Amino acid sequence: MADMRRVISETSTTNPPPSSAFLAVAAPSSSSSTLSSHPVLPCRALLSAKIQRRRDSPDSELIRFIIVAKHYSLFLQLSYSLVVYPALILAYSGEAAFLIKNPDRISTAFYSSIPEPIFWPMFIISTLAAVVASQALISASFSIIRQSITLGCFPRVTMIHTSSKHEGQVYSPEVNYFLMFVCILITVGFDGGAEIGNAFGVAVIWVMLITTVLMSVVMLVIWDTNIILVVTFLTVYLSIEGVYMSSLLNKLAHGGWVPFAISAFFLVITLSWTYGRSKKSQYEDGNKMSKQELNQLVETSTRVPGVCFFCTDLMNGIPPIIRHYVKHVGTLRQVTVFVTVRTLPIRTVLPEERFIVAKLGPEGIYRCLVQYGYMDQHRMDGEEYVSSIVGVIKEIAENAELVEMMDCASCKDVIFVHGRIILNASNKNGGFRKWVINNLYRFLQKNFRSNVATLRIPPSKSLQVGMLYEI
């Protein structure tokens, strides 16, 4: 409680910094360097997230949640231990006793064991419980896929945030349709028979086994529990759950293989995508353009009027596709901005904190980090977007001539360039790895959403540049 009072005291006496002071501290300098060489720019992003998070989710709500969880945790433990757990044991014991006398009704053991007077109330409650369980499964699928996309372990799919208050409430049409298709396929394929029950039983027991192992890891790594207690816990529960698992081995050929097939399907996608992205990152890290190379490239290129926004997902350094583009086109716009879009775990980003711009060295070459909240629309169309970035660039201009050049360039044509990277594995990778890159990863890359798919770029001003990465 002393720690709680200290946190409340600190929160009540701490005010978020005003926007003017924040911008004064975090504004990028006008010296020639890349975005990664500005230590203040990542700090500004973090401060922006912290300030906006305070505005969206006040500290009083966090403190209230901590107090409620602290006071009501005992009641939750008692309710599960004295009500939920005994009710579950009695229900399964009743079904077991019923099956001992009526072994021929194993497929309808639950409903057949219910006494006639309370059959329909139990039927309604069971149906509602099934609806709640299915909704939990669907929501968990959305959340797991979203977290996997954030970690770069799964191809990008459509993610729609359904709440402006809670970041975790998401909906994915592709995942939803996949679940519907698989449910219909399993129901029709097994004709609603005992195979579905076998698949469910195998999935449940393996979830118990995996949970026990992960719980042991948490006890050992996070809670720093004595190794003897961890081994005792793991031995006792694995021995009990191992008996259940051994009893289901004969069910694998009769529907029990379905959970393993679904897991293998997603495992292939995850491993293929992760391996392909790692190879792509290794190639870009090893072939990034240096500052000297960029200066030489700009000096030997023809500068034409206008503004070019080059969309890239590489936050530090200049991707090799820039070299590929200039080599074949031979020209650069007067103002060329390398744009990287990042979505922060906050509801929205203030307009004055959305664009972080730094000069890359040569005249007219800039790096821009565009920050969006999860409820913001990623719009790059319209004059407002161009004028906003040009306005931020003019703030760091060194003299009036650069400001005049910005005004002239923004009045000319504006173009958005985004790259399409294709990996091609050479023979040195081996037959299997080559097949994974050239077939599986390329298939996923072609049929799932790209990074720029969420950006609303005007089609008439969009140019796609392709490049083959030989790895």
Does residue 434 form part of some domain? yes
Residue 64 pLDDT grade (very low, low, confident, very high; cuts 50, 70, 90): low
Separation CA 103–CA 101 (nearest Å): 6
Quick check: 280 and 223 in contact, CB under 8 A? no
* Residues above pLDDT 90, as percent of the chain: 21
Q: Is the pLDDT of residue 29 over 50?
A: no
User: What is the pLDDT, as a whole number, of residue 234?
Assistant: 94
The token pair at 151 is: 């970690």
Q: Give residues with Cβ within 8 angstroms of 17, minimum separation 6.
A: 25, 47, 51
Kindly give the pairing relationship between strand 160-161 and strand 170-171: antiparallel
Does residue 380 form part of some domain? yes
User: What is the pLDDT, as a whole number, of residue 68?
Assistant: 60
Does residue 8 form part of some domain? no
For residues 291 and 180, the model is more confident at 180
Separation CA 277–CA 269 (nearest Å): 12
Residue 44 pLDDT grade (very low, low, confident, very high; cuts 50, 70, 90): very low
Q: Is the pLDDT of residue 34 over 60?
A: no
Does residue 249 form part of some domain? no
* Domains identified in the chain, total number: 1
Q: Is the pLDDT of residue 10 over 70?
A: no
Quick check: 249 and 257 in contact, CB under 8 A? no
Separation CA 177–CA 264 (nearest Å): 19
Does residue 93 form part of some domain? no
The token pair at 321 is: 């596709």
Q: Mean pLDDT across the stretch 443-458?
A: 81
Q: Is the pLDDT of residue 61 over 80?
A: no
Question: Could you report the per-residue pLDDT of 109-165, keeping only the tens digit for each?
Answer: 888 888 888 999 999 998 998 899 888 889 999 999 998 988 889 999 988 888 878
Host H or E run for residue 229: helix 227-247
DSSP-assigned beta bridge partners for residue 208: none
One DSSP character per residue, 176-200 reads HHHHHHHHHHHHHHHTTSHHHHHHH
Cβ–Cβ contacts within 10 Å for residue 44, how many? 20
Separation CA 377–CA 370 (nearest Å): 12
User: What is the pLDDT, as a whole number, of residue 450?
Assistant: 77
Structural domain that includes position 437: 290-470
Cβ–Cβ contacts within 10 Å for residue 88, how many? 11
- Among the ranges given (51-55, 87-91, 454-458), the one the predictor scored with the smallest mean pLDDT: 51-55
Separation CA 211–CA 241 (nearest Å): 11
**CB half-sphere exposure, 356, CA atoms < 13 A:** 28
Does residue 421 form part of some domain? yes
User: What is the pLDDT, as a whole number, of residue 292?
Assistant: 85
Closest CA to 45 of 33, 28, 58: 28
Q: Is the pLDDT of residue 294 over 90?
A: no
Across the chain, mean pLDDT equals 79
Q: Mean pLDDT across the stretch 45-71?
A: 49
Does residue 118 form part of some domain? no
Residue 97 carries which side chain, given as an amino acid letter? Answer: A
Quick check: 261 and 182 in contact, CB under 8 A? no
Out of 57-61, 200-204, 217-221, 447-451, give the one with best mean pLDDT: 217-221
User: What is the pLDDT, as a whole number, of residue 176?
Assistant: 94
Residue in this structure with the two tokens 């910094």, named with its chain if needed: 17
Separation CA 208–CA 205 (nearest Å): 5
Helices (H) and strands (E) in the chain, counts: 17, 8
For residues 33 and 266, the model is more confident at 266
Does residue 314 form part of some domain? yes
Quick check: 46 and 344 in contact, CB under 8 A? no
The token pair at 287 is: 């072939």
Instruction: Tell me how far apart the terminal alpha carbons of the chain are, to the nearest angstrom.
Output: 57
Q: Is the pLDDT of residue 223 over 80?
A: yes
Residue 5 carries which side chain, given as an amino acid letter? Answer: R
* Residues above pLDDT 70, as percent of the chain: 84
Separation CA 420–CA 404 (nearest Å): 34
Residue 312 pLDDT grade (very low, low, confident, very high; cuts 50, 70, 90): confident
